[in-house]
Amino acid sequence: MDVATNIKWTIESIKKMINMPLFTLIKTSREILEKNFPRNEIQLSALFNAKSGACSENCAFCSQSIKWNTNAAKTKLCSADEVRKAAKKAKAAGASRLCFAAAWRGLQDRNVKQVVDIIKAIKEEGLTSCASLGLLSEDKAKALKDAGLDFYNHNIESSKNYYAKMVTTHTFEDRISTVNNASKAGLKVCCGGIIGMGESIDDRIEMLAELANMNPQPKSVPINILNPIKGTPVANKYKPIDSFDIIRVIATARMLMPKSYIRLSAGREFMGKELQAMCLFSGANSIFYGDKLLTTPNANPMNDIDLINQLDIKVEKIN
């Protein structure tokens, strides 16, 4: 099956896709993965929390909101030297990409110079750079592009309707506007979402449709499994998502976005190696790698390397 990247995907067509017999879905998505990424490689992407906590937004799934009592650390934006140390560590561990994130509503004028210095530090270490800095205007997107930033991350998180149930301090349209501003500036877009936070299957389909119909499609698509952090409104509210539902989302994302990196992101610490292997077989070809994500533990790096070796997958090298 050959899937184009320039067609308008409908909700009905995606619904038929995600509800295919499971083995047929997996077989098809695997063929698409092998066609577009024939080297059988996995991308290791490191994540660094450059500014933690005290975020003004009320995202129900996030431990860093000032609205929730989660005991998340509260720090100021770190220095370029601190990020450089993180970049060196990530590179030594085999990562080819470093994403740095800041917990705030969006990038402000007073922070631009410091962020530019952080980008330059990452690039000087030879890593692909990615920034996740909240809402972004056109002029600031251009400033990041001029500084050498490769990717901008801004997830849509869920469907438009369900997103409004999770966040009220900004809108779904605000998120789409930020993604569009990054694209217009020439930045590659990293955009995905979260599953397992009480959304319906239709919400997952609508989220995938929104991602697949972006022009251009996101180059990286992080698929996060909800980590129900104590103190957030979603803690202990929803039962864990079924493993086969995770596989269906990964496989469908691969079919809809054949040339994108589909990244297993948050929640891998709860996934056994067999489920991770099935996700990698079904279409995922990137993981967040390292012992910590933003405020939560990540899958053990040594276990990741063992799994990669057991599956005979090569680690993608730095270009």
**Can you say which residues are annotated as belonging to the binding site for [4Fe-4S] cluster?**
55, 59, 62
What is the length of the chain?
319
**Is 279 one of the annotated active-site residues of the chain?**
no
Cα end-to-end span (Å), the chain: 30
Q: What are the φ and ψ backbone dihedral angles of 100, each rounded to 5 degrees?
A: -110, 140
Give the separation between CA 51 and CA 207, rounded to whole angstroms. 28
60 contacts 233 by C-beta, under 8 angstroms: yes
Q: Which residues carry a binding-site annotation?
A: 55, 59, 62, 99, 130, 190, 263
Alpha carbon distance 297, 301 (integer Å): 11
- Which one of 78, 99, 191, 279 is the catalytic residue? 99
Helix (H) or strand (E) holding 189: strand 188-190
Task: Say which of 84, 97, 130, 248 is annotated catalytic.
Answer: 130
Query: Which of 175, 263, 268, 279 does the annotation list as catalytic?
Result: 263
Bond preceding residue 216 cis, omega within 30 of 0: yes
Alpha carbon dihedral 264, 302, 316, 118, in 10-degree steps, equals 80
Output the known binding site for [2Fe-2S] cluster: 99, 130, 190, 263
Burial class (CB in 10 A: 0-12, 13-18, 19+), 273: middle
Is 191 a catalytic site residue? no
Q: Which of 55, 78, 191, 279 is catalytic?
A: 55
Q: Which run of H or E residues covers position 211?
A: helix 201-212
H or E, element range at 173: helix 172-184
Which residue among 84, 175, 190, 191 is the active-site one? 190
Q: Which of 62, 78, 191, 279 is catalytic?
A: 62
Gap between the Cα atoms of 161 and 100, Å rounded: 29
State yes or no: is 78 an active-site residue. no
Please give the positions annotated as active site.
Answer: 55, 59, 62, 99, 130, 190, 263
